[in-house]
Amino acid sequence: MQATAKQIAHLLGGTIVGDENVTVQGPAKIEEGVAGAISFLGNPKYEPYLYSCQSSIVLVPNDFEPKQAVTATLIKVADVYSSLGVLLEHFNQATQPKATKKIDQQAYVAATVTIAEGATIDALAYIADKVKIGKNVRIYPHVYIGEGAEIGDNVTLHTGVKIYAACLIGNQVTIHANSVIGSDGFGFAPQADGSYQKIPQLGNVILEDGVEIGANSVIDRATMGSTIIREGAKLDNLIQVAHNVTIGKNTVLASQVGIAGSTHLGDSCMIGGQVGFAGHLQIADGTKIQAQSGIAQSVKQPNTALWGSPAMDYRQYARAAVVFKQLPQLQQRIAKLERMLQQQENK
């Protein structure tokens, strides 16, 4: 794809500083910029690269003023990272081949499967009975889709993805390699003899529009009803979501988060890596949780920031951490004061 600065500025709603007719063919990091590339400056620490990079166009914030001469044409935008996302998606779409239905001869597709235009199913994929596949879906090798599952439009299922029976996948969903959607929830009833009786898991999983699931993540089906990942939520790699969990709209979870059964996360939450949630909790909208925290109680106040295990108010934890680092010195001071007090009492 080739585009001029004028076309890109129009796409992004930006302001041009320099040659509006300069053209670019693709993106490049600012530290590796070459002629014909477009780069971006989102973090001030990368500003020195701006003055030496050879990129033809660089995206910068609206309030940016260069401290030295710049050879590249600048396009000023309100939000560099959001604009970059729009631009990369534009380049990506331009490089995609025209959609036509394509099913590899080595794929197994049951006779009762419904496949819309533009779908591509690669070798060794297995599509069971009564599955519905939407427009422009891309199914990579070794994907399994169980009976009665429904896949929306513009969905990408990377190599090794497993979608169990009756699960519902919305539009514009991406699931990365080896993730499992709809495995049984961890439901077992303890018996008098110390054994455990399995509780049948009869529900499903629903991924709403715009959801992205990282590699090697697992989302369990509900015991009854649905485990639901709401519109626009983003899950990193290596995440465990248990049965009957709900994750709210535009909530993001970093790697290795674990959520126990029937916990509900609100909208627009930000969850750091390795955070653990107990079961049956309610987490308010806008909650932010620092990495490696443990959440044992519900969070009722929206936009709360938490840290620690068990988690507490973020600022309170930061103050407590300062004290914790000083505990050896404090212990020595207390021991000294105790000796002085004992000496005083002896007198």
Is 115 in contact with 133 (CB distance < 8 Å)? yes
Closest CA to 290 of 265, 263, 257, 268: 257
| Residues with Cβ within 8 Å of residue 242, at least 6 apart in sequence | 185, 186, 220, 227, 258, 259, 260, 261, 262, 263, 279
**DSSP tally for the chain: helices H, then strands E:** 5, 40
Active site residue 243: yes
Residues 184/220, Cβ–Cβ less than 8 Å: yes
Q: Are 237 and 254 in contact (CB under 8 A)?
A: no
The vertex-18 CA angle with 12 and 22, nearest 5°, equals: 75
Residue 165 · residue 128 · CB < 8 Å: yes
C-alpha Rg value of the chain to the nearest Å = 27
Question: Which helix (H) or strand (E) covers residue 256, if one does?
Answer: none
Which residues on adjacent β-strands are paired with residue 207?
A: 169, 229
Residue 345 Cα distances to 55, 338, 339, 340, 342, angstroms: 78, 10, 10, 9, 5
Which entry of 158, 243, 264, 280 is annotated as an active-site residue? 243
121, 146, 207 from 230: Cα distances, Å: 26, 22, 6
Other CB atoms closer than 10 Å to residue 140's CB: what's the count? Answer: 18
The answer to whether the Cα torsion of 38, 44, 45, 50 is positive or negative is positive
Catalytic residues: 243
